[in-house]
């Protein structure tokens, strides 16, 4: 594996929904093995970025490029992105009554394996795999056997997302506010799961509203997203500054730093 | 009472056919059957075919039926063997098979039923146990429905199931009415009479099949009499040809503390109408009426439900779900009628429709008629499309777009599928859905 090639390269990404611009020029490069945290106030475009990367069609990309392992990510259908190794842990995982969590995961994993030219797993091999993954992310067997997210608590849904991630073994995992609404125990389970999956060839984009998560998942880089742009990037200490001083501080800093190019972009 | 114009042109061929049959029978039937037939044809003649001007037929136009010259097969066709009906029978069931309206003993198998239980052709029962048949036949399905009147006018054969007091029948009884290929459009008038005496229990599967894709009319009437404390599990599996007309009435009469659970699986037929009526006529009765219709192309399916709570402390539960594709149409009219004095009624009704195509239309109309003051009645109806969020969620895990939509469609139907207690019927429905849905092999793996 080569570590010199970026896993994800976002350049000047513009996107919006229903004609309203939300992302206004995002630049972000994630190398294999790195964990990037994206923080920002409500409405800054964090979830939009996650949805756009996963291929949600409701969002229109109006400019910029996204390359994933050298390929044009925006050209790929959502399922192709997943099969190529992009995983989105949803902020609000969908309840799907009537679909078994386990069987669904088997179908998903086999779709991914088939795409990669790997042999599909039979029932026994799959069962062994999920047992190991359940242990890895401390997932309760009763949740695994239930229907997909139906009647799960908020915390259980988030843990199930991490469980899916563990089974599907993505190359790039995007966690969209996976920590929101979790108590400290659930937060630890989620963080332990992510940490267990950290690997030299795997990258993470961890979107969060709170610094707290970053005590458990220690990022390599922290970015601050405000009004559709990354206004600051730094080490993990940046998260602490944000926590202490609020986003207003980062916003003010950005206004000075980015005023000129920002104006250029809007008039271009 | 609605008075609709009677078009003699349309009833005349049926009346002529009745006269021919009557002459042919020439007193072979007991007097009570002859009297029923006469009452039936007279009522049909008076009512005529219903028109869209009548409220109950507003959205289902039977003019194509009235305008077709049907031929009533005089005998069972030759050359139909077990292989021909295999797709429509279930393992582990006793079975009565009817071909083009005629009992086919060679294809039927009543072995394994407990002593005292009757499962036979209605013609045989009329000969062997006339008093028992007379006590129940046409006592429940009223002739004010033109198609009930028409069916009754041609009562000759059909199926009769009788479970004596306290007897439990473990083996499900399958009654299959199959229409075979014929040159001209054919008509059959299947009749099914189920009498479950007090504290008895039985499972009856009423199945309809079209062995060839051509136009014909099936006009069945089913009467189920559920005695005090008796339990009847009923299934209707309708797999008519998509070119066929199927206009059916199912009338249930429930005594105290009885349970009637029915599941309808409606996938066939071009023009389908089901009138399902239950009278809870004793305290403590319960009925479940579940159904799933899966239609596409130009299929039209109309379910007219009526649950009559005539006594206190009865419960009813109705869940009908529809999956509509192509240019298909569905009508659901769910009436719950609570009689004066039927206190502590607990009635739940829901109709949920999933629309897969921009050209399909589902009509849903719940109606509550409540004449008692201490009751709980709830109803809900929805018509919707697949949830985009859910489709995206599945795709984001690597499931293809078609497979994601199919998984969600299956999931929509799954609560009806899962409630089917006879494994063979449940598996058959699941297999149908896997077959019908795009990328069904992925669905099969995922659910």
| pLDDT for the residue numbered A264 | 35
Q: What is the mean pLDDT of residues A145-168?
A: 90
Count the neighbouring beta carbons within 10 Å of the beta carbon of residue A63.
Answer: 15
| pLDDT for the residue numbered A265 | 34
| pLDDT for the residue numbered A210 | 85
**Strand ranges (DSSP E) for B116-244?**
118-121, 159-163, 173-179, 186-188, 191-196, 201-210, 216-218, 221-226, 231-239
Given an 8 Å threshold on Cβ–Cβ distance, is A104 in contact with B387? no
A15 DSSP β-pair partners: A23, A61
B266 DSSP β-pair partners: B238, B293
Residue A82 forms contact with B (CB below 8 Å): yes
Q: What is the mean pLDDT of residues B27-43?
A: 94
Residue B394 forms contact with A (CB below 8 Å): yes
Q: What is the ipTM of this complex?
A: 0.91
Tokens coding A120 = 């599909």
pLDDT tens for residues A229-266? Answer: 999 999 988 888 887 887 777 666 655 544 433 333 33
Res A54 pLDDT > 80: yes
Q: What is the mean pLDDT of residues A144-172?
A: 91
Which residue in A has a C-alpha nearest to residue B415's C-alpha? Answer: A98
Q: What is the mean pLDDT of residues A187-213?
A: 92
| pLDDT for the residue numbered A266 | 33
Predicted confidence band of residue B255 (pLDDT cuts 50, 70, 90): very high
**CA dist., res. B437 & res. A124, Å (int):** 27
Class of domain A8-267: alpha beta
| pLDDT for the residue numbered A241 | 85
Residue B413 forms contact with A (CB below 8 Å): yes
Which strands make up the sheet holding A59-68, listed edge to edge? A20-30, A8-17, A59-68, A71-72
Residue A76 forms contact with B (CB below 8 Å): no
Which residue in A has a C-alpha nearest to residue B414's C-alpha? Answer: A98
Which residue in A has a C-alpha nearest to residue B412's C-alpha? Answer: A98
Q: What is the mean pLDDT of residues B149-177?
A: 97
Given an 8 Å threshold on Cβ–Cβ distance, is B411 in contact with A99? yes
**CA dist., res. A102 & res. A145, Å (int):** 6
Residue B341 forms contact with A (CB below 8 Å): no
Give every CB contact of residue B63 below 8 A, 6+ residues apart in sequence: B49, B51
Contact list in B for residue A105 (CB cut-off 8 A) is 397
The nearest CA of chain B is from the CA of A259 a distance in Å of 36
Contact list in B for residue A100 (CB cut-off 8 A) is 446-447
Tokens coding A156 = 């259980």
**CA dist., res. A166 & res. A193, Å (int):** 8
| pLDDT for the residue numbered A179 | 87
Res A91 pLDDT > 50: yes
Tokens coding B253 = 């009469």
Nearest-CA neighbor of B92 among B443, B422, B446?
Answer: B422
Residue B441 forms contact with A (CB below 8 Å): no
Of B392, B407, B418, the CB nearest to A78: B392
**CA dist., res. B172 & res. B88, Å (int):** 14
Q: Where do the domains of chain A lie?
A: 8-267
Given an 8 Å threshold on Cβ–Cβ distance, is B388 in contact with A58? yes
Q: What is the dihedral of CA B26, B27, B32, B36, to 10 degrees?
A: 0
Contact list in A for residue B418 (CB cut-off 8 A) is 98
**CA dist., res. B51 & res. B63, Å (int):** 8
Which residue in B has a C-alpha nearest to residue A113's C-alpha? Answer: B398
CA angle B190, B195, B227 (to 5 degrees): 145
Residue B372 forms contact with A (CB below 8 Å): no
Given an 8 Å threshold on Cβ–Cβ distance, is B447 in contact with A104? yes
Of B396, B408, B411, the CB nearest to A54: B396
Mutate to test the interface with A, among B321, B387, B398 (most CBs of A within 10 A): B398
Q: What is the mean pLDDT of residues A157-169?
A: 94
Residue A106 forms contact with B (CB below 8 Å): yes
**CA dist., res. A32 & res. A204, Å (int):** 9
Which residue in B has a C-alpha nearest to residue A86's C-alpha? Answer: B396
Nearest-CA neighbor of B141 among B6, B320, B275?
Answer: B275
The nearest CA of chain A is from the CA of B165 a distance in Å of 39
Given an 8 Å threshold on Cβ–Cβ distance, is B415 in contact with A97? yes
Tokens coding B192 = 């099914």
Residue A150 forms contact with B (CB below 8 Å): no
Given an 8 Å threshold on Cβ–Cβ distance, is B399 in contact with A107? yes
Given an 8 Å threshold on Cβ–Cβ distance, is B414 in contact with A97? yes
Res B114 pLDDT > 90: yes
Given an 8 Å threshold on Cβ–Cβ distance, is A79 in contact with B400? yes
Tokens coding B348 = 């739940």
**CA dist., res. B78 & res. B101, Å (int):** 13
DSSP, collapsed to helix, strand or coil, labels residue A230 as strand
Mutate to test the interface with B, among A88, A148, A161, A173 (most CBs of B within 10 A): A148
Contact list in A for residue B447 (CB cut-off 8 A) is 98-100, 103-104
Tokens coding B32 = 């009570």
Q: What is the mean pLDDT of residues B348-360?
A: 97
In the block, residue with structure tokens 């139906």: A150
Q: What mean pLDDT value characterizes chain B?
A: 95
More confident residue, A238 or B150: B150
**CA dist., res. B287 & res. B277, Å (int):** 11
Mutate to test the interface with A, among B388, B396, B399, B412 (most CBs of A within 10 A): B396
CA angle B97, B100, B102 (to 5 degrees): 60
Q: What is the mean pLDDT of residues A48-59?
A: 96
Of B390, B403, B442, the CB nearest to A96: B390
| pLDDT for the residue numbered A49 | 97
Residue A107 forms contact with B (CB below 8 Å): yes
pLDDT tens for residues B209-243? Answer: 999 888 999 999 999 999 999 999 999 999 999 99
Given an 8 Å threshold on Cβ–Cβ distance, is B410 in contact with A98? yes
Q: What is the mean pLDDT of residues B61-88?
A: 92
Judged by average pLDDT, the poorest of A95-99, A111-115, B252-256 is: A95-99
Res B8 pLDDT > 90: no
**CA dist., res. B163 & res. B201, Å (int):** 7
Nearest-CA neighbor of A208 among A223, A186, A227?
Answer: A223
Of B389, B396, B412, the CB nearest to A78: B396
B108 and B96 Cβ atoms separated by less than 8 Å: yes
**CA dist., res. A230 & res. A37, Å (int):** 11
A12 and A25 Cβ atoms separated by less than 8 Å: yes
The nearest CA of chain A is from the CA of B335 a distance in Å of 28
Mutate to test the interface with B, among A48, A52, A54, A78 (most CBs of B within 10 A): A78
Give every CB contact of residue A199 below 8 A, 6+ residues apart in sequence: A33
The A residues from 165 to 204 touching B (CB cutoff 8 Å) are: 168
Which DSSP string corresponds to B99-119? ETTEE-GGG-B-TTPPTT-EE
Given an 8 Å threshold on Cβ–Cβ distance, is B398 in contact with A56? no
DSSP, res B68: S
Q: What mean pLDDT value characterizes chain A?
A: 89
DSSP, res B71: B
Tokens coding B189 = 């008038």
Given an 8 Å threshold on Cβ–Cβ distance, is B398 in contact with A97? no
A17 and A58 Cβ atoms separated by less than 8 Å: yes
């Amino acid at each position: 594996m080569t570590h010199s090639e970026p896993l994800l390269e976002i350049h000047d990404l513009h996107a919006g929904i229903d004609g309203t611009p939300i992302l206004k020029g995002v630049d972000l490069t994630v190398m294999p093995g790195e964990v990037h945290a994206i923080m920002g106030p409500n409405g800054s475009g964090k979830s939009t970025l996650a949805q756009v990367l996963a291929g949600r069609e409701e969002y229109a990309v109006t400019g910029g490029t996204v390359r994933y392992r050298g390929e044009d990510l925006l050209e790929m259908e959502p399922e192709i992105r997943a099969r190529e190794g992009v995983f989105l842990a949803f902020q609000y995982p969908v309840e799907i009554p009537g679909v078994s969590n386990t069987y669904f995961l088997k179908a998903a994993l086999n779709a991914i394996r088939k795409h990669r030219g790997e042999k599909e797993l039979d029932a026994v091999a799959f069962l062994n795999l999920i047992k190991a993954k359940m242990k890895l992310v401390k997932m309760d067997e009763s949740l695994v056997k239930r229907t997909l997210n139906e009647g799960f608590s908020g915390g259980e849904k988030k843990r199930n997302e991490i469980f899916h991630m563990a089974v599907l073994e993505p190359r790039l995992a995007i966690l969209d506010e996976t920590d929101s609404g979790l108590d400290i125990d659930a937060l630890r389970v989620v963080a332990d799961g992510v940490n267990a999956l950290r690997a030299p060839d795997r990258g993470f984009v961890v979107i969060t509203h709170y610094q707290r998560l970053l005590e458990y998942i220690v990022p390599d880089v922290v970015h601050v997203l405000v009004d559709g742009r990354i206004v600051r990037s730094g080490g993990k200490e940046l998260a602490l500054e944000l926590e202490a001083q609020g986003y207003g501080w980062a916003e003010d800093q950005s206004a000075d730093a980015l005023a000129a190019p920002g104006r250029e972009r809007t008039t271009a | 009472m609605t008075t609709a114009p009677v078009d003699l042109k349309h009833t005349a061929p049926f009346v002529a056919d009745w006269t021919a049959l009557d002459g042919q029978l020439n007193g072979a039937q007991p007097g009570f059957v002859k009297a029923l037939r006469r009452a039936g044809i007279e009522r049909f003649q008076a009512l005529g075919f219903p028109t869209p001007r009548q409220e109950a037929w507003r959205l289902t136009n039977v003019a194509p039926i009235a305008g077709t010259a049907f031929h009533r097969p005089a005998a069972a066709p030759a050359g139909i063997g077990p292989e021909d009906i295999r797709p429509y029978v279930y393992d582990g069931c006793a079975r009565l098979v009817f071909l083009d309206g005629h009992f086919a003993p060679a294809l039927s198998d009543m072995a394994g039923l407990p002593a005292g239980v009757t499962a036979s052709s209605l013609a045989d029962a009329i000969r062997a146990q006339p008093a028992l048949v007379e006590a129940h036949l046409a006592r429940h399905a009223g002739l004010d429905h033109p198609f009930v009147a028409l069916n009754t006018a041609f009562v000759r054969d059909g199926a009769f199931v009788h479970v004596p007091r306290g007897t439990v029948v473990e083996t499900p009884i399958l009654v299959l009415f199959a229409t075979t290929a014929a040159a001209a459009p054919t008509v059959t008038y299947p009749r099914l009479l189920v009498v479950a005496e007090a504290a008895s229990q039985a499972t009856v599967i009423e199945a309809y099949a079209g062995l060839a894709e051509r136009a014909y009319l099936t006009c069945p009437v089913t009467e189920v009499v559920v005695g005090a404390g008796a339990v009847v599990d009923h299934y209707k599996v309708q797999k008519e040809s998509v070119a066929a007309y199927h206009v059916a009435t199912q009338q249930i009469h429930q005594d105290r503390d009885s349970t009637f659970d029915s599941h309808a699986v409606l996938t066939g037929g071009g023009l389908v109408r089901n009138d399902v009526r239950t009278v809870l006529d004793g305290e403590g009765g319960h009925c479940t009426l579940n159904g799933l219709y899966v239609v596409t192309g130009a299929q039209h399916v109309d379910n007219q439900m009526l649950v009559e709570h005539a006594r206190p402390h009865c419960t009813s539960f109705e869940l009908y779900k529809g999956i509509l594709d192509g240019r298909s149409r569905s009508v659901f009219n769910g009436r719950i009628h609570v009689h004066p004095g039927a206190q502590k009624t607990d009635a739940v009704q829901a109709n949920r429709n999933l629309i897969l195509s921009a050209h399909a239309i589902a009509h849903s109309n719940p109606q509550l008629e409540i004449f008692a003051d201490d009751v709980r009645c709830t109803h809900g109806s929805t018509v919707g499309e697949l949830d985009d969020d859910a489709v995206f969620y599945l795709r984001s895990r690597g499931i293809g777009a078609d497979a994601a939509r199919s998984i969600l469609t299956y999931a929509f139907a799954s609560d009806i599928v899962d409630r089917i207690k006879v494994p063979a019927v449940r598996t058959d429905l699941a297999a149908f859905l896997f077959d019908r849905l795009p990328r069904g092999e992925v669905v099969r793996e995922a659910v």
